[in-house]
Chains A and B, each alone.
Chain A
């Protein structure tokens, strides 16, 4: 079943070996595979049918793959010699570097650009080897702590500063980090929106230089560039605890934060208002250095859904979030040619009228495994107004625990449902996690390759 994909991988490997100058061969392969990628994504986002369904893997921090799975996939495709480590490009969720050769083999159309530092505030540089708890060989940035605590856990420090209190923890035998909540006593009388926006300052020259250099580097690949510039993700629970801050102030406890939507709404509104002003000023400066060379930007990654229904009421979305989503979308659409992408996990059917109305161009990850998120109903109800950037395969049940045949069948079904009339970028539902059988990963991308061509066989 995986013959097609393996054949492509072997051809790519052979091309590498045959060349006296591997770097030239590699960049030529990249350019060849990348022809049309950007236009393919642009057409899809404009609700037109390109030559084939665009594919995203690793373009953003919510469309990637856990480093363990990247390692297994790269090994299975013969892209690396056994034991060759894979870089961890995002330490929080432990995402692996996909690599240009794997992008080529799979026919990926999207690459990503972010800020110069990662979610914990340090640069991905000074790579050092580390063996993950599951035995996979990795490369991690210099500031990534690799010495376990006495109980076996790994603790992460804001900006790599060991003198600060740790901001995250990977439990022994774990696969990811999670926030350590550092909540000072809440003084209700003296809540100050500045405390909860300390991390959202004016963008640094270092970040602007980094973004410009990355866009410069990636543009020749021909792939669509997805920007994730940070700062616009109002109420993003991944960032509420202040992972980059040495002494987080304000409301940093997750439950207190969620409760604040109904118990301290004025405060939350003030935080978002301040955050929004900073974000729009930063967007103007980013646009000034890169122009319209990115195709889309991830504007918000706050989750509004649980497995069973919306996390917040439509009223809370409308009063606290929507005004700022509208402002960001309107600014971007008025001043750039960028498309805007919203990421929200979970069951958000009851919020979608408002989310679509807020002016987003695309929705990710389209968690069809959650309640009320039937793909056919989503496409019928919203397919002409918002593009689906995700929904390709259920990563909660089918991909990790199903058979290869079930994976293949679901990929085919999803492409049939979502691809009609464009408006679909194939992406797994959120990052591919660790522990997925490699046969299922091969079946996934093999099926994408087999079924992504327009016109769709089943179309009338």
Chain B
């Protein structure tokens, strides 16, 4: 029964059972369920639920991490099939912590939640210099995500915005920021397109920006290369 396989896949992700999620994804493929359906109705549905539980205070960072890891394990099973079937991502997001900042748990969580929402995530890692963000924008990222935990490193964010502007790429990418000391006001001050306070709202923010970009006059589809 395909619906129960999908349900069990989603449930395994919600409960953070990586081995079961992999088993259910594999079973789904064997049963002939489309990889796209396993992604959308299994993994992404599960991560939407996880995000909702997090926002409602029902689950916390550890639970969210185990769910995200389970989702990732299952996604690896689906990935070759998604590529083969040319399933489009929701968009490409390049994400990293800014120069001088090595604190990447928050960034990793955002990256996993975006993956779980169908985005292609280019993880630039920690201590990322402006030129690497520029390169990622040049390479076709729809959204650039920057994270900083420290008051001493958040001030490197405007440098990245400026570098992207100088490279003539500012109109092609949306820039989002986050991290403990960051605020909406700061995001506006430095000319970013958005701020999210946690991983769950980061997904909503990025989705909104990508949807709006898709609806804009250039007609460029999100995630299109």
Contacts and interface: CB of A to CB of B under 8 A. Distances in A.
A84 to B, nearest CB: 23
A156 to B, nearest CB: 12
Nearest to A263: B66
Contact of B151 (A259, A316, A435): A435
Given A173-B100, A262-B66, A435-B151, A396 B181 contact: yes
B102 A169 contact: yes
B219 interface: no
Contacts of B61: 258, 306, 311-312
A401 interface: yes
Contacts of B197: 307-308
B198 A316 contact: no
A238 B69 CA distance: 23
A309 B151 contact: no
B180 interface: yes
Interface in B181-223: 181, 183, 197-198
A85 B198 CA distance: 40
B160 to A, nearest CB: 15
A187 interface: no
B60 A310 contact: yes
Nearest to A178: B102
B87 interface: no
B148 to A, nearest CB: 11
B62 A258 contact: yes
A174 interface: yes
Contacts of A309: 57, 60
Nearest to B182: A307
A133 B104 CA distance: 22
Contacts of B198: 306, 308
A201 B167 CA distance: 55
B151 A255 contact: no
Contacts of A260: 62
Contact of B152 (A172, A258, A350, A435): A435
B124 interface: no
Nearest to B109: A255
Contacts, number: 79
A263 B16 contact: yes
A312 to B, nearest CB: 5
Contact of A178 (B63, B69, B103): B103
Interface string A142-176: 00000000000000000000000000010111111
B187 to A, nearest CB: 14
Interface string B127-154: 1000000000000000000000011100
Contacts of A217: none
Contacts of B108: 255
Contacts of B155: 435
A263 B57 CA distance: 19
Interface string A419-460: 000000000000001110000000000000000000000000
Given A254-B105, A401-B151, A350 B57 contact: yes
Nearest to B179: A307
Contacts of A259: 16, 62, 65-66, 69
A171 B153 CA distance: 11
B59 A313 contact: yes
B180 A316 contact: no
A76 B31 CA distance: 73
Nearest to A311: B61
A311 B103 CA distance: 15
Contacts of A254: 105
Nearest to B102: A178
Given A175-B152, A308-B197, A312-B61, A262 B16 contact: yes
B174 interface: no
13 contacts: A175-B152, A176-B150, A178-B102, A254-B105, A255-B65, A255-B69, A258-B65, A259-B65, A262-B16, A312-B62, A313-B59, A396-B180, A433-B150
- Per CB-CB distance, the 6 closest pairs between chain A and chain B, nearest first, are A178-B102, A307-B180, A396-B181, A261-B62, A262-B62, A313-B60
Interface of B: 16, 57, 59-63, 65-66, 69, 99-103, 105-106, 108, 127, 150-152, 155, 180-181, 183, 197-198
Given A171-B127, A309-B57, 13 more contacts: A171-B99, A172-B100, A173-B100, A174-B102, A178-B103, A255-B65, A255-B108, A259-B66, A261-B62, A306-B106, A311-B62, A313-B62, A316-B62
